[in-house]
Amino acid sequence: MSRLPSDPPDFFRVHVFICTNRRPDDNKRGSCAQKGSEDLREHMKNAQKKLGLKDVRINSAGCLDRCGQGPVMVIYPEGIWYSFHTIADIDEILDTHVVKGGRVERLMLAAQP
Protein backbone atom coordinates (compact mmCIF):
# COMPACT_ATOMS: atom_id res chain seq x y z
CA MET A 1 0.00 0.00 0.00
CA SER A 2 1.46 3.33 -0.96
CA ARG A 3 1.13 6.62 0.83
CA LEU A 4 -1.24 9.27 -0.45
CA PRO A 5 -0.11 12.89 -0.81
CA SER A 6 -2.72 13.90 1.79
CA ASP A 7 -1.35 11.46 4.42
CA PRO A 8 0.33 13.08 7.42
CA PRO A 9 4.08 12.47 7.74
CA ASP A 10 5.21 9.31 9.50
CA PHE A 11 5.47 9.74 13.26
CA PHE A 12 8.48 7.37 13.33
CA ARG A 13 10.95 6.75 10.53
CA VAL A 14 11.13 3.09 11.60
CA HIS A 15 8.65 1.20 13.78
CA VAL A 16 9.66 -2.24 15.07
CA PHE A 17 7.17 -4.68 16.58
CA ILE A 18 8.71 -7.58 18.49
CA CYS A 19 6.45 -10.42 19.57
CA THR A 20 6.68 -10.88 23.34
CA ASN A 21 3.60 -13.07 23.60
CA ARG A 22 3.80 -15.70 26.33
CA ARG A 23 1.75 -18.88 26.39
CA PRO A 24 1.75 -21.59 29.06
CA ASP A 25 4.90 -23.72 28.87
CA ASP A 26 2.89 -26.79 27.84
CA ASN A 27 1.22 -25.07 24.86
CA LYS A 28 2.15 -26.95 21.67
CA ARG A 29 2.50 -23.72 19.65
CA GLY A 30 5.07 -22.34 22.03
CA SER A 31 5.62 -18.60 22.19
CA CYS A 32 8.21 -16.00 21.32
CA ALA A 33 8.67 -15.07 24.98
CA GLN A 34 9.63 -18.68 25.77
CA LYS A 35 12.32 -18.32 23.09
CA GLY A 36 13.84 -15.20 24.66
CA SER A 37 12.11 -12.36 22.85
CA GLU A 38 11.59 -10.23 25.96
CA ASP A 39 15.30 -9.96 26.79
CA LEU A 40 16.23 -9.52 23.11
CA ARG A 41 13.66 -6.71 22.77
CA GLU A 42 15.12 -5.02 25.84
CA HIS A 43 18.58 -5.27 24.28
CA MET A 44 17.33 -3.71 21.04
CA LYS A 45 15.67 -0.84 22.93
CA ASN A 46 18.84 -0.14 24.91
CA ALA A 47 21.01 -0.27 21.79
CA GLN A 48 18.61 2.05 19.94
CA LYS A 49 18.83 4.57 22.79
CA LYS A 50 22.65 4.37 22.88
CA LEU A 51 22.71 5.10 19.15
CA GLY A 52 20.44 8.13 19.70
CA LEU A 53 17.83 6.93 17.19
CA LYS A 54 14.97 9.18 18.32
CA ASP A 55 12.99 8.57 15.11
CA VAL A 56 12.83 4.81 15.80
CA ARG A 57 10.30 3.06 18.02
CA ILE A 58 10.78 -0.47 19.38
CA ASN A 59 7.47 -1.91 20.61
CA SER A 60 6.30 -5.12 22.22
CA ALA A 61 3.59 -6.90 20.29
CA GLY A 62 1.16 -9.62 21.18
CA CYS A 63 1.09 -12.73 19.07
CA LEU A 64 2.06 -12.03 15.46
CA ASP A 65 0.88 -15.55 14.48
CA ARG A 66 4.26 -16.88 13.38
CA CYS A 67 5.05 -18.80 16.57
CA GLY A 68 6.84 -21.66 14.84
CA GLN A 69 9.33 -19.26 13.31
CA GLY A 70 9.91 -17.25 16.46
CA PRO A 71 10.94 -15.19 17.99
CA VAL A 72 9.82 -12.78 15.29
CA MET A 73 9.66 -9.06 14.58
CA VAL A 74 8.22 -6.95 11.81
CA ILE A 75 9.68 -3.61 10.78
CA TYR A 76 7.63 -0.84 9.22
CA PRO A 77 7.17 1.05 6.99
CA GLU A 78 8.68 -1.71 4.81
CA GLY A 79 6.81 -4.59 6.44
CA ILE A 80 9.90 -6.80 6.60
CA TRP A 81 9.69 -9.83 8.91
CA TYR A 82 12.67 -11.29 10.74
CA SER A 83 13.31 -14.30 12.94
CA PHE A 84 16.09 -13.72 15.46
CA HIS A 85 17.69 -15.73 18.24
CA THR A 86 20.75 -13.93 19.58
CA ILE A 87 22.01 -10.51 20.61
CA ALA A 88 24.23 -10.64 17.51
CA ASP A 89 21.10 -11.09 15.35
CA ILE A 90 19.47 -8.07 17.02
CA ASP A 91 22.60 -5.94 16.58
CA GLU A 92 22.85 -6.92 12.90
CA ILE A 93 19.18 -6.08 12.23
CA LEU A 94 19.52 -2.77 14.06
CA ASP A 95 22.68 -1.76 12.18
CA THR A 96 21.89 -3.14 8.73
CA HIS A 97 18.14 -2.51 8.48
CA VAL A 98 17.26 0.25 10.92
CA VAL A 99 20.40 2.41 10.65
CA LYS A 100 21.62 1.71 7.10
CA GLY A 101 18.32 0.83 5.37
CA GLY A 102 19.52 -2.57 4.13
CA ARG A 103 18.23 -6.06 4.80
CA VAL A 104 19.56 -9.02 6.78
CA GLU A 105 18.53 -11.63 4.24
CA ARG A 106 19.64 -14.65 6.29
CA LEU A 107 17.10 -13.70 9.00
CA MET A 108 14.23 -12.53 6.78
CA LEU A 109 10.98 -14.50 6.70
CA ALA A 110 8.91 -15.05 3.59
CA ALA A 111 5.68 -13.05 3.33
CA GLN A 112 3.59 -16.20 3.75
CA PRO A 113 4.69 -18.96 6.13
| Structural contact between residues 68 and 21, judged by C-beta atoms closer than 8 angstroms | no
Q: Is the pTM of this model over 0.85?
A: yes
Task: Categorize the per-residue pLDDT at 111 as very low, low, confident or very high, splitting at 50, 70 and 90.
Answer: confident
CATH match of 18-107 with 3.40.30.10: yes
Q: Residue 17: CA atoms inside 13 Å, Cβ hemisphere, count? A: 15
| Structural contact between residues 87 and 40, judged by C-beta atoms closer than 8 angstroms | yes
Indicate the range of 4-13, 80-89, 98-107 predicted with least confidence.
Answer: 4-13
pLDDT digits (tens, 9 = 90+) for 19-71: 999 998 888 888 999 999 999 999 999 999 999 999 999 999 999 999 888 89
Peptide bond into 5 cis (omega under 30): no
DSSP string, 11-72: S-SEEEEEE-----TT-TT--TGGGTHHHHHHHHHHHHHHTT-TTEEEEEES--S-GGG-SE
